[in-house]
Amino acid sequence: MQGTSEYQPRTGIERWIDSRMPLPRLMYDSFIAYPIPRNLNYSYAFGAILSLVLVVQILTGVVLAMHYAANSAIAFNSVEQIMRDVNYGWLLRYMHANGSSMFFIAVYIHMFRGLYYGSYKAPREIQWILGVILFLLMMATAFMGYVLPWGQMSFWGATVITNLFSAIPLVGEGITHWLWGGFAVGNPTLNRFFSLHYLLPFMIVGVVILHVWAFHVTGQTNPTGVEPKSRSDVVPFTPHATMKDAVAMVAFALFFAWFLFYLPNYLGHPDNYTLANPLVTPPHIVPEWYFLPFYAILRAIPSKLGGVIAMFASIIVLFFLPWLDRSKVQSAAYRPLYRIFFWIFVVNVICLGYFGAKPPEGWYVLATQLLTAYYFVHFLIIFPLLGYIEKPRPRPTSITEAVLSKHKSGGGGTPAEAAASPERRG
């Protein structure tokens, strides 16, 4: 997809810059002339949405940091000061807090889209791995950000999660104390979490640049999974993708606004409006909603070390996805079996999240264990196996063919064509 550049400097100053540092050329080739498959649906817009949310998070975060005090004696009150006395402080703080949830909603859809259309397959393995790294960075950032208001859930969430490291044999306790900067979660922990919470988003920006760079080399996937072959398969990024992404971003902003203005505390936990108290354990410690599936996996294994290993393995396994999937066919649109298992997996993860929020008692324990087992079965057994037993549907020879055949057959096509229709899930 790279190669010849179509950038033509028109004015003298553009030529002058281009011959010294071709940044305008890079921007032109990346966001204007860059060819994208013409059949992308709206599920491909979540990359743009994520960039938007990242910018919102950084901007609101930088301003919040001007008013926030990272000291365990006054952190809670400083957040309330922002809510009450800083001009539009409530807006900044609710935007930042709900923004993190929006970030995860978008990233989960983005990842499931990647799973559905096989975006992790050759030659996009590095692209996918960078994405998993981004996901890990996001989780670390969000976790540390949740600690900053220094409420009960901040404190006890931090205690539970940092305690996980104590499960490591021999050095575990030492590592945990080193992380805390003391013998329990306290002011030193809060200080370093704030420092890292400010640092990590900029690392995310760096990896995002690599992530975007990588797909500008390999080109985007598309719902057919057939690589673009001719000029007629692609359209220029601007105005086509720009406008489509803009629609998606505004629609997502609407969704965001609904929570921000009308449900600002819906995605949080009431206990976090109680000042952290090391002497009072909340009756039921739960992490933020977006960690619940992993929290469920952690609790499913009846041993501390086992649970920690399972939880980390559930994310590490994603790194190996490009090689676990043995199928030659990229898109689930032409993989009748995989498509079914994909949706089972989606339901599985949602159920894990649901049980992650429940107290570990009664039949919930067994249900969580079964769901956890299935999570790994999906990646370690079903994924490789499907490559051998699945009979893929016939694929179109080109994107253009797929698009035109869909339009020829109109609304009610044959089942195969209807299934091949990339817009179906738009």
Partner 1 sequence: MRDGTATKIMTTMLKSITRLSAAGVLVLAGLSVAAAQQDAPAAPESPEAKPEETALPHFPLEEPEEMEWSFAGPFGKFDQQQLQRGFQVYREVCSACHSMKLVPFRALGWEGGPHFSEEEVEALAAEYQIQDGPDDTGEMFERPGRPSDYFPAPFPNDEAARYANGGAVPPDMSVLAKARGVERGFPQFLIDIFTTYQEGGPDYIHALLTGYEDEAPEGVTVLPGQYYNPHYMYAAALAMPPPLFEDLVEYAQNQDDDPNNDVPQTVDQYSRDVAAFLMWAAEPHMEARKSMGFTVIAFLLVFCGLVYYVKRKVWANVEH
Structure tokens at 216: 């500008």
Among the listed residues 33, 83, 109, 133, the single contact to partner 1 using CB under 8 A: 83
| DSSP letter for each residue of 215-254 | HHHH----TT-PPP-SGGGEEEIIIIIHHHHHHHHHHHHH
51 near partner 1, judged by CB under 8 A: no
- In the list 253, 313, 315, 351, the residue contacting partner 1 (rule: CB under 8 A) is 253
Is 359 among the residues that bind partner 1 (CB under 8 A)? yes
Q: DSSP character for 171?
A: T
Assess 94 for contact with partner 1 (CB under 8 A). yes
| Residue 12 touching partner 1 (CB under 8 A) | no
Under DSSP, is residue 16 helix (H, G, I), strand (E, B) or coil? Answer: helix
Q: Which of 237, 374, 375, 379 binds partner 1 (CB under 8 A)?
A: 374
Q: Do the Cβ atoms of 161 and 153 come closer than 8 Å? A: no
3-class DSSP state of 37? strand
390 near partner 1, rule: CB under 8 A: yes
Stretch that binds partner 1, among 62-70, 171-179, 248-256, 345-353 (CB under 8 A): 248-256
Rg of the chain taking only CA atoms, in angstroms: 24
Does residue 71 touch partner 1 according to CB under 8 A? no
- Contact set for partner 1, span 96-155 (CB under 8 A): none
Tell me whether residue 56 or residue 160 sits nearer to partner 1 (CB atom). 160
Q: Does 261 bind partner 1 (CB under 8 A)?
A: yes
Which phi and psi (to 5°) does residue 37 adopt?
A: -55, 140
Residues 243, 316, 350, 418: which binds partner 1 (CB under 8 A)?
243
Q: Using the rule CB under 8 A, which residue among 10, 389, 410, 411 binds partner 1?
A: 389
- Our CB check for partner 1 shows the closer of 17 and 301 to be 301
- 128 — phi, psi (to 5°)? -65, -45
197 is in an annotated binding site: yes
Q: Work out how close the CB of 220 gets to partner 1 at its nearest, in angstroms, rounded to a whole number.
A: 14
| Binding status of residue 169 toward partner 1 by CB under 8 A | no
Q: In the numeric block, which tokens belong to residue 361?
A: 């008692």
Instruction: Pick the binder of partner 1 from 304, 317, 398, 401 (CB under 8 A).
Output: 304
Could you tell me the maximum CA-CA distance found in the chain, to the nearest angstrom? 75
Residue 67 is assigned to a ligand binding site: no
User: Distance (Å, rounded) from C-alpha 58 to C-alpha 96?
Assistant: 9
| 396 C-beta neighbours (distance < 10 Å), count | 20
Q: Is 110 annotated as a binding residue?
A: yes
Helix, strand and coil percent figures for the chain, each rounded to 5 = 70, 0, 30
Supply the minimum distance, in Å, between the C-beta of residue 168 and partner 1.
13
* Member of 33, 196, 235, 317 binding partner 1 (CB under 8 A): 235
